[in-house]
Amino acid sequence: MARLLPVFAATLALVSLPVSALGAENIYDYGGDDLRGSYPEEWGFSDEPDPLEFEIGLRYWYSLGSSQLTAFGGNYSSTDTSQTVELHFRIDDNSTASYVKGQVGYAAIIEGTYSTPEFVGDQTMSGGNIGYAGADFGMMPWGNETFKVGGFAGYQFLSDNPDMGRANYTTSGGGGASQVNAVETHMLKLGAVARMEFGDMVDLTAEAAAIPFAKMDGTYGAFFQPNFIAGATLYEQGSPGTISGMLYGASGEVMLGFSPTDNLTVRVGGRGWYLTGDATMQYRAREVGTPSNAVDYIGDISGLEFFRYGALAEITGTF
């Protein structure tokens, strides 16, 4: 065993010499003059060592909103101003010219007016619930280093419910109750996007999207139905209104950015979206004095529109 140790050490030294020499340079395949270099650091179609870019930041959105619809002969409308705080992110993959981005926002302050058949004239609004969340996947394969265009597809959830009051109704047990508006919309977006860069410090991004499909449903607590007679029976409202519809519309956004450092960007711009379409309102009417005797009514909604637009300000970190 002792005799084998010198032989083993000599063999190990001989093997280590070519390996050390190769380790000092790129490792090559055999094959004459055309030698293959080591694996490059970049991947995909990118010429950059690190093709992924990340952004995360905060936005402030000051928006003006409006809504209107007519159901069972009654007109409902609202106008408001809201102040929304939004968290957003974006990941760019330069190797495939693709990106994914998302945002979630919630209105901290909502003020305005509304009108329903229950009241005469505009009523003061304060509060409510406006929130949204969504994500887009897009590609920008056309253009050059200063101008690129492409397309994207995305999903957005929207809960746009400024306080429009809450109509009272009678329960099956004869008591009273009321509910606030709680309408939700799920949207599909298909759009185009363009981006321009002016040197290393200024960029401009614009996108426009069609909303070919949007599913809306929920409780419309502002719905009010006065007492009425049907078949010699006096009925009163016995439930909140529930709304359901298939909508469509459009959305757009423009942002101008300034990057004072490599890792910080400040942007300002604007955003808006619009929805309309076909929907129905449903509620339950109860016999006055005998609330257990109830009849369901459903009717088409006309003139339905939801519109929100406003100014954006953003601060974003990049890495």
pLDDT digits (tens, 9 = 90+) for 14-31: 334 343 333 434 434 444
**What is d(CA 70, CA 274) in angstroms, rounded to the nearest whole number?**
18
For the record, the structure tokens of 76 come out as: 């409902």
Specify whether 34 is located in the same domain as 65. Answer: no
Query: How much is the average pLDDT of 133-148?
Result: 96
One domain for residues 177 and 33: no
CA distance 62 to 81: 7
Give the residue-averaged pLDDT of 38-55: 60
Q: Are residues 34 and 52 in the same domain?
A: no
Predicted confidence at residue 145, as pLDDT, reads 87
Q: What is the pTM of this model?
A: 0.82
Q: Are residues 208 and 100 in the same domain?
A: yes
The DSSP-derived string for 248-285 is EEEEEEEEEEEEEETTEEEEEEEEEEEEEEEEEEEEEE
**CATH number of the domain within which 61 lies:** 2.40.128.90
* 117 and 134 fall within a common domain: yes
Residue 135's domain comprises 48-318
- What does the radius of gyration of the chain's CA atoms come to, in whole angstroms? 31
C-alpha distances (whole Å) from 290 to each of 162, 174, 237, 238 are 34, 8, 13, 11
Instruction: Yes or no: say if 264 and 294 are a contact pair by the CB < 8 Å rule.
Output: no
The length of the chain is 319
Band of pLDDT at residue 50, cut at 50, 70 and 90: low
Cα angle, residue 311 at apex, residues 181 and 60 outer, rounded to 5° = 75
Whether residues 10 and 58 fall in one domain: no
Instruction: Give me the mean pLDDT over the 255-281 stretch.
Output: 97
* 3-state SS, residue 64: strand
In 10 A of CB 170, how many CB atoms? 21
Share of the chain above pLDDT 90, in %: 81
Helix/strand number for the chain, H first, E second: 1, 15
How many other CB atoms are found less than 10 A from the CB of residue 270? 16
Q: Mark whether 93 and 34 lie in a shared domain.
A: no
Q: Are 53 and 95 in contact (CB under 8 A)?
A: no
Structure tokens given for 292:
């257990």
Residue 41 has pLDDT above 90, yes or no: no
Q: Which among 116, 111, 112, 110 has a CA at the least distance from the CA of 77?
A: 116
Q: Are residues 172 and 210 in the same domain?
A: yes
pLDDT digits (tens, 9 = 90+) for 196-229: 999 989 999 999 999 999 999 999 999 999 999 9
Same domain, 78 and 170: yes
* 294 shares a domain with 159: yes
DSSP 11: H
- Per-residue confidence (pLDDT) for residue 19, from 0 to 100: 38
Distance CA 10, CA 182 (A): 82
Q: How many domains does the chain have?
A: 2
Give the tens place of pLDDT for each residue, 83-139.
Answer: 999 999 999 999 999 999 999 999 989 999 999 999 878 999 999 999 999 999 999
Are 148 and 297 found together in one domain? yes
Question: Do 246 and 277 meet the contact criterion of CB atoms below 8 Å apart?
Answer: yes
pLDDT at 162 over 80: yes
